[in-house]
Amino acid sequence: MSAIEACRTEALGGHVAACSKCNHPHIAYTSCKSRHCPKCQAPAARDWMAARAEDLLPVAYFHVVFTLPAEIARIAHWNKRAVYGLLFKASAETVATIAADPKRLGARVGMTSGLHIWRSALTHHPTST
């Protein structure tokens, strides 16, 4: 957070730049380059989102999160392939069952699943050893 707070301020330093037309000098402060910084990453994020929008089908999309209880997450640490395999299978079956219900959507749906973990060290990643 301290890097983001200091982004483009004198705390991170900078250099003097001059206008190419009138030669008026101004200070250009150094950015933090943090991937979480809205000042540094906003243009890249907008470009990425625009590029992904071209890949989408003209249908409604929904984001659904399935969370493992802490007790099962601890088991997953030692049995990654089995627990995450069950998680993906159960979540797919759940979404398909609910979507097929005529009182809900009454349709066959497709879904893409991804595993999101909270640790940057990927200690719970299903392919780590």
Same domain, 69 and 39: no
Does the pTM of the predicted model rise above 0.75?
no
| Separation CA 112–CA 64 (nearest Å) | 10
Residue by residue, pLDDT tens for the chain (129 residues) are 777 788 888 888 888 988 888 989 888 888 888 877 888 888 888 888 888 888 888 888 888 888 888 888 888 888 889 999 999 999 999 999 999 999 999 999 988 888 877 665 555 555 544
Instruction: Give the pLDDT of residue 129.
Output: 41
Same domain, 11 and 73: no
Same domain, 27 and 67: no
Same domain, 126 and 80: yes
Domain that residue 101 falls in = 59-129
How many domains does the chain fold into?
Answer: 2
> Residues with Cβ < 8 Å from 108, sequence gap 6 or more?
96, 99, 100
By the 8 A CB rule, do 124 and 73 touch?
yes
